[in-house]
């Protein structure tokens, strides 16, 4: 639990807000005093996450938006600022993991979908929000990359390519936006659990008939953990803490950085 109010008086847009990471980060930032704008494409899941803040002293707004639609993104960002006030910080987190298959068998349609959501969609959000930050005098942005974009895991060519692209986008955006007092960093989670993401990855790698992993999900889980020097998976709160730091003034001299959150794993 955060014991500081580093984000008091600041509004943060969290995309992918209905997912596990989005919810955890929104919770941490709210604990630190931020007003939260949650954005997701899934209205029911978004409402369920937003409702978990009911009865608490937290300002939460919810916004249904498809990040692959540039016009919808621009309209949503404008609506947030028009009705709630300027966006000080962005957690650019909406994403799609995609199928699990070796590159020579990977479904082309799914590859395109992963890139459209994880790269083009993230760019739409980054562009729309940063343009407003330029106009309002600065801000802070954290993009969700992944250790998949650093190390290139087997059977995940689309996801790995998309997250590698996010690291590159972060580096360029950091340079382009530094003159406008906007910091841009990325986080690269490794194996994070428990929950849907962990279980899906274990099950899909087991089903991929790969020489790198066993066919039994429980064994795959053991293999993944064995590759981590800290000998455990990370927790959602451990991502949230790093994101909160990067969005706060405690990271005021950091931009263009990609921070691994992977227990020493590669």
Residue 266 confidence (pLDDT): 76
Question: How far is it, in rounded angstroms, from Cα 79 to Cα 130?
Answer: 15
User: Which residues share a beta bridge with 22?
Assistant: none
Catalytic, out of 88, 96, 106, 159 = 159
| pLDDT band for position 54 (cuts 50, 70, 90) | confident
Instruction: Classify residue 234 by its DSSP letter.
Output: B
Residues of CATH 3.40.50.720 domain(s) within the chain?
11-190+235-261
User: Tokens in use for 52?
Assistant: 């978990």
Q: What is the pLDDT averaged over residues 11-24?
A: 97
Q: What is the pLDDT averaged over residues 30-58?
A: 94
| pLDDT band for position 2 (cuts 50, 70, 90) | very low
**pLDDT of 87-109, one tens digit each?**
999 999 999 999 999 999 999 99
User: Tokens in use for 144?
Assistant: 């969700």
Q: Three-state SS for 173?
A: helix
Per-residue pLDDT at 9 exceeds 80: yes
CA-nearest of 183, 104, 114 to 149 is 114
Residue 96 is among the residues annotated as catalytic for this protein? no
Q: Sign of the C-alpha dihedral, residues 6, 11, 12, 18?
A: positive
Pair type for strands 258-261 and 182-189: parallel
Per-residue pLDDT at 207 exceeds 50: yes
Helix axes 70-83, 122-136, angle to 10 degrees: 40
Task: For 121, list phi and psi in degrees, rounded to 5.
Answer: -60, -45
| Superfamily of domain covering 11-190+235-261 | NAD(P)-binding Rossmann-like Domain (3.40.50.720)
Residue 3 confidence (pLDDT): 58
What residue ranges in 103-220 does DSSP mark as E strands?
139-144, 182-189
Per-residue pLDDT at 252 exceeds 90: yes
Contact 89, 141 (CB under 8 A): yes
Residue 1 confidence (pLDDT): 46
Which are the contacts of 191, defined by CB distance < 8 A and separation ≥ 6?
198, 201, 224, 225, 228, 233, 234, 262, 263, 265
Per-residue pLDDT at 119 exceeds 50: yes
What is the rounded end-to-end Cα distance, in angstroms, of the chain? 28
The total number of residues shown for the chain amounts to 266
User: Which residues share a beta bridge with 136?
Assistant: none
Contact 155, 101 (CB under 8 A): yes
Question: How far is it, in rounded angstroms, from Cα 244 to Cα 142?
Answer: 9
Per-residue pLDDT at 205 exceeds 90: yes
Per-residue pLDDT at 66 exceeds 60: yes
For Cα atoms 33, 56, 9, give the angle at the middle one, nearest 5 degrees. Answer: 20
Q: Three-state SS for 184?
A: strand
Residue 86 confidence (pLDDT): 95
CA-nearest of 82, 67, 86, 78 to 126 is 67
User: Which residue's structure tokens are 């800290």?
Assistant: 230
């Amino acid at each position: 639990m955060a014991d500081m109010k580093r984000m008091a008086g600041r509004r943060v847009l969290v995309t992918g807000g209905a997912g596990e990471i989005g919810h955890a980060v929104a919770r941490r930032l709210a604990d630190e005093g931020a007003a939260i704008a949650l954005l997701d494409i899934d209205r029911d899941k978004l409402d369920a996450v937003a409702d978990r803040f009911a009865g608490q002293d937290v300002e939460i707004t919810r916004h249904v938006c498809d990040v692959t639609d540039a016009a919808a993104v621009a309209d949503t960002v404008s609506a947030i600022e028009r009705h709630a006030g300027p966006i000080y910080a962005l957690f650019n987190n909406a994403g799609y993991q995609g199928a699990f298959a070796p590159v020579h068998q990977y479904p082309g349609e799914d590859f395109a979908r992963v890139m459209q959501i994880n790269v083009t969609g993230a760019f739409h959000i980054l562009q729309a929000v940063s343009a407003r930050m330029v106009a309002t005098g600065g801000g802070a942005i954290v993009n969700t990359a992944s250790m998949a974009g650093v190390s290139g895991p087997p059977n995940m060519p689309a996801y790995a390519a998309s997250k590698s692209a996010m690291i590159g986008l972060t580096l360029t955006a950091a340079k382009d936006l530094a003159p406008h007092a906007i910091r841009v960093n990325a986080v690269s989670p490794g194996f994070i659990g428990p929950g849907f993401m962990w279980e899906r990855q274990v099950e899909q790698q087991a089903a991929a008939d790969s020489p790198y992993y066993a066919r039994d999900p429980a064994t795959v889980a053991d293999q993944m953990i064995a590759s981590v020097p800290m000998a455990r998976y990370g927790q959602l709160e451990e991502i949230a803490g790093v994101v909160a730091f990067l969005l706060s003034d405690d990271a005021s001299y950091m931009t263009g950085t990609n921070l691994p959150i992977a227990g020493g794993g590669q």
